[in-house]
């Protein structure tokens, strides 16, 4: 292999983690994350219904925060990672390398905020334990969501942003050698 | 201070030590007290772990413990020793910083407080403010450490 060629970078680890995270997001959003029992009334919340409840209660700034943390950020992270891996595999154009690196830094920073819902459920579960008058019970959706968050963070960590600055041409895109 | 406009090499260890000291009351004191029909309960970081454990979610409780308490404490400890062992602190810091999320936990508690307000009577206690203080001290210490390292590398 000469100095201007390279094999396609090994992105199997971040790709596998990102796919696993995407899969975990499905039960995370479909299954309930929380049961609230209040004086005989029981309410089961998914991530989405919790956001809607906050909005309908007039707490739209909080609804916006939870919406961003629990829905937008995980999807944005996975889409961003897919884009970065595509760029790394094909060889990022020189004028885009800086912006792609900024995108990676952004994904690296924002991922942690998705843990908001996990901490929220954990805290409510620990505090609201009055038996029949009021109980908050965590449900399996929150475990799937926590797993999705961990996997997206691991996927971001597994991606090497230096690949975006690799100036050599991928082997698979080389022109055929002349005889 | 003139040669160290960002506070100098003592800033990060001093802030980290402040954070470690605040962690003690944050762990010992309740975050809030809730009242439902005269039935009073205290909520703290530990009670959130106990709540998850009691519903057979021990792994999730462990994860909350790691991100909300253990990693921030190890990161603070690493920043305290950064004055004497900056390279080791840098290695520890970069390994731990991604998993340290006390500020996210604070936001989670604030959202929980707002939701609790419609269910029960809530009173915020000193433990929560100590945890907030620890979280802010950690953020500032980590920022000061990184800026200081940048100064050293570019000097």
Query: For A63-72, what is each residue's pLDDT tens digit?
Result: 999 999 999 9
Between CA A160 and CA A167, with CA A166 as vertex, the angle to 5 degrees is 170
Phi, psi of B6 (to 5 degrees): -95, 10
Residue A31 has pLDDT above 60, yes or no: yes
Query: What was the pLDDT predicted at B83?
Result: 81
Q: What is the pLDDT of residues B110-137, one digit of tens each?
A: 988 888 877 778 889 999 999 999 999 9
Phi, psi of A129 (to 5 degrees): -135, 65
Phi, psi of A82 (to 5 degrees): -60, -40
Token pair belonging to A29: 């959003």
**Paired residues of B36 in beta bridges:** B39
Q: Choose the closest CB to A116 out of B41, B49, B104.
A: B104
Using a CB-CB cut-off of 8 Å, the residues of chain A touching B116 are 124, 127-128
Between positions 52 and 71 of A, the ones with CB within 8 A of B are: 54, 57, 59, 62, 65-66
Query: What was the pLDDT predicted at A1?
Result: 45
Selection from A107, A60, A135, A143 nearest residue B111 by Cα: A60
Q: Choose the closest CB to A125 out of B36, B51, B98.
A: B51
Between positions 48 and 67 of B, the ones with CB within 8 A of A are: 48-52, 55, 57, 59-61, 63-64, 67
- What's the whole-number mean pLDDT along residues B58-87? 92
At A171, the pLDDT band (50, 70, 90 cuts) reads: very low
Q: Which of B57, B66, B135 to mutate to test the interface with A (most CBs of A within 10 A)?
A: B57
Contacts by A173-178, CB closer than 8 A, 24 or more apart? A173/A90, A173/A91, A174/A5
At A143, the pLDDT band (50, 70, 90 cuts) reads: very high
Is the pTM above the cut of 0.80? Answer: yes
Whether residue B150 lies within 8 A of chain A, CB to CB, comes out as no
At B91, the pLDDT band (50, 70, 90 cuts) reads: confident
Report the side by side order of strands in the sheet with B39-43.
B39-43, B32-36, B121-124
- Point out the least confidently predicted range of A114-123, A126-135, B128-137: A126-135
Q: Which of B60, B69, B120, B122 to mutate to test the interface with A (most CBs of A within 10 A)?
A: B60
- What's the whole-number mean pLDDT along residues A105-126? 90
Query: What was the pLDDT predicted at A71?
Result: 92
Task: Using the structure block, give the residue that is written with the tokens 């407080």.
Answer: B113
Residue A155 has pLDDT above 90, yes or no: yes
Query: What was the pLDDT predicted at B2?
Result: 47
Token pair belonging to B104: 């996210």
Query: What was the pLDDT predicted at A168?
Result: 61
Using a CB-CB cut-off of 8 Å, the residues of chain B touching A125 are 48, 51-52, 55
Query: What was the pLDDT predicted at B114?
Result: 84
């Amino acid at each position: 292999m000469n100095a201007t060629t390279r094999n396609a970078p090994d992105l199997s680890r971040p790709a596998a983690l990102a796919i696993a995270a995407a899969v975990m997001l499905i039960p995370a959003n479909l299954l309930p994350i929380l049961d609230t029992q209040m004086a005989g009334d029981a309410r089961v919340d998914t991530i989405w219904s919790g956001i809607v409840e906050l909005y309908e209660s007039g707490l739209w700034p909080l609804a916006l925060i939870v919406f961003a943390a629990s829905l937008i950020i995980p999807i944005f992270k996975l889409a961003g990672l897919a884009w970065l891996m595509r760029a790394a595999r094909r060889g990022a154009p020189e004028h885009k390398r800086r912006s792609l690196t900024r995108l990676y830094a952004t994904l690296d920073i924002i991922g942690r905020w998705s843990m908001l819902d996990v901490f929220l459920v954990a805290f409510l579960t620990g505090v609201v334990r009055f038996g029949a008058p009021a109980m908050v019970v965590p449900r399996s959706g929150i475990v799937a969501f926590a797993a999705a968050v961990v996997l997206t963070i691991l996927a971001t960590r597994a991606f090497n942003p230096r690949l975006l600055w690799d100036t050599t041409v991928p082997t698979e895109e080389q022109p055929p050698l002349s005889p | 201070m003139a040669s160290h406009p960002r506070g100098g090499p003592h800033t990060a260890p001093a802030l980290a030590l402040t954070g470690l000291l605040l962690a003690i009351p944050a762990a010992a004191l309740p975050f809030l007290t809730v009242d439902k029909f005269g039935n009073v309960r205290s909520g703290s970081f530990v009670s959130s772990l106990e709540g998850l454990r009691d519903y057979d979610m021990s792994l999730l409780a462990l994860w909350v413990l790691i991100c909300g308490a253990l990693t921030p404490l190890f990161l603070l400890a690493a920043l305290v020793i950064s004055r004497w062992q900056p390279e080791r602190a840098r290695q520890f810091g970069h390994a731990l910083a991604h998993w340290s999320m006390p500020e996210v936990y604070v936001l989670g508690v604030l959202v929980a407080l707002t939701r609790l307000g419609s269910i029960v009577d809530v009173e915020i206690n000193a433990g929560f403010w100590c945890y907030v203080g620890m979280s802010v001290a950690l953020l500032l210490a980590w920022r000061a450490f990184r800026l200081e390292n940048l100064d050293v590398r570019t000097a």
